[in-house]
Amino acid sequence: MWKPSTGAAMLTLCPGILCSLNGIHVTSSSSGLRVRGRAHCHVASASVSTEIAKNSAGLRGRTIGCVRGWSSAGRSQSFSSATCFGAMKSRSGFTSSGNGVDIRWIKTNGDDTSNQTAGVVYPSKSCKSKSCKVAVIGAGAAGLVTARELLREGHDVIVFEQTKSVGGVWVYDPEIEGDDLLGLSQDRKRVHSSMYASLRTNLPREIMGYTDFPFLPRDGRDGRRFPGHAEVAAYLQDFAEFYHLLDCVQFSTSVDYVGSCKDQNKISWKVRTRRRHQTDDVKEEQFDAVVVCNGHYSQPKLAEFPGSSSWPGVQMHSHNYREPSSFTDQTVVVIGNAASGEDISREIADVAKEVHISGRTWSASVDFSEPIGQHGNIWRHSTIECACEDGTVLFAEGGCVSADIILHCTGA
């Protein structure tokens, strides 16, 4: 299961975008925004989106807001968020690498001379009463609540969603990313969801839902307090239906490019979309504002260790893990002792010969010599010292194992 991050409610807007725009009121360079969303919001997405929506009139032609959903860690607004784009650098355009973002380019005017840095965007008072045409990228937990709040304020909203359904990462996809199990190639087949078949939430439903749309058990559905992923997906679908959000979602449509255009002192955003699987169906539209809610769990982060590239066994990332059958009778090294590493290790230990968890955050009292788990076939180790061409994996504490598979449970 996923382990929530802790920390104050924050929204960090894309630095590369903001620093190249004029007229934005920025209050902080890196610490982001402490969300003061409406009191009814528990989940991060609700809180952040509320703030964005409240400020939306002032976003006209001025910014792109990035919204992260639901990294909730506490009863009230307690989550962390970060920028949506891992490697956005330049003022005049930047590629989105590193975070699994399908948007290829976001471009701002080169003639902009603002030296502001990233931070909080407040609305300009003069714009507050105007209705904006807003594009929301992504129909996950964050995109849905963003759309709801914007619609409530009378804005004209289109949500672009690359898949066929709402719910984002919670929509289980049995597909994996072809043979590229580590997600190394930028051109690989993309699968958004990292859910594995058995995943249940690691937060109780009372704090998983939007506060004004409680996540209650429903007849005939998964009523557990820590429900499975399908129940969360169904809840988000309920939310979308209840607020009639589906009418404004364009499914199977990915946003490939967002660029600002300046016309008589008014900045607007050009959004280029592509109908999935129909490469010739490319469209460009202008918007007053764009809110990026594209999630951040689909580009694997990998562990680095000597010998990794020449190690002969199979390496994969947990983003491409769905169920344990392919681990039957295998000796597996799992890198990462956080929530997904621990959870998946226990699941595959039911069928694997041996599971060796390599972690860097064990408590000082951990015993590397004693196996754990219900079958006594899980061992804990420190970090990997090196992986050898004969298949051996050496650990820093001195242990070693001849392994078949290395599974990176190292986040995204």
- Dihedral sign, CA of 110, 113, 119, 120? negative
Contact indicator for 169, 295 with CB cutoff of 8 Å: yes
Q: Rule CB under 6 A: is residue 55 a binding residue for ligand FAD?
A: no
- Name the β-bridge partners of 356: 333, 379
CB of 105 to ligand FAD, least distance (A): 11
Q: Pick from 9, 33, 42, 45: which binds ligand FAD (CB under 6 A)? A: 45
What 3-state DSSP class applies to 392?
strand
Q: Pick from 85, 239, 297, 321: which binds ligand FAD (CB under 6 A)? A: 297
C-alpha 24/C-alpha 270 separation (Å) is: 19
Smaller CB distance to ligand FAD: residue 160 or 269? 160
Q: Rule CB under 6 A: is residue 208 a binding residue for ligand FAD?
A: yes
- Name the β-bridge partners of 210: 213
Q: Pick from 52, 103, 118, 151: which binds ligand FAD (CB under 6 A)? A: 103
- Name the β-bridge partners of 355: 332, 378
Residue bearing tokens 């603002």: 114
Helix ranges (H only) for 354-402 are none
Q: Pick from 22, 34, 86, 102: which binds ligand FAD (CB under 6 A)? A: 102
Q: Rule CB under 6 A: is residue 168 a binding residue for ligand FAD?
A: yes
- Dihedral sign, CA of 329, 333, 338, 340? negative
Q: Pick from 69, 119, 183, 227: which binds ligand FAD (CB under 6 A)? A: 69
Smaller CB distance to ligand FAD: residue 134 or 394? 134
Amino acid at 338: A
- Site map for ligand FAD, 220-259, x if CB under 6 A? ----------------------------------xx----
Q: Rule CB under 6 A: is residue 411 a binding residue for ligand FAD?
A: no
In our burial notation (b when 16+ CB lie closer than 10 A, e otherwise), range 397-409 reads eebebebbbbbbb
Q: Rule CB under 6 A: is residue 139 a binding residue for ligand FAD?
A: yes
CB of 388 to ligand FAD, least distance (A): 31
Strands (E), 264-330: 266-275, 282-287, 289-292, 314-317
Q: Which residues bind ligand FAD (CB under 6 A)?
A: 1-2, 4, 45, 68-72, 101-103, 137-143, 160-163, 168-170, 192, 194-195, 199, 201-203, 208, 254-255, 293-295, 297
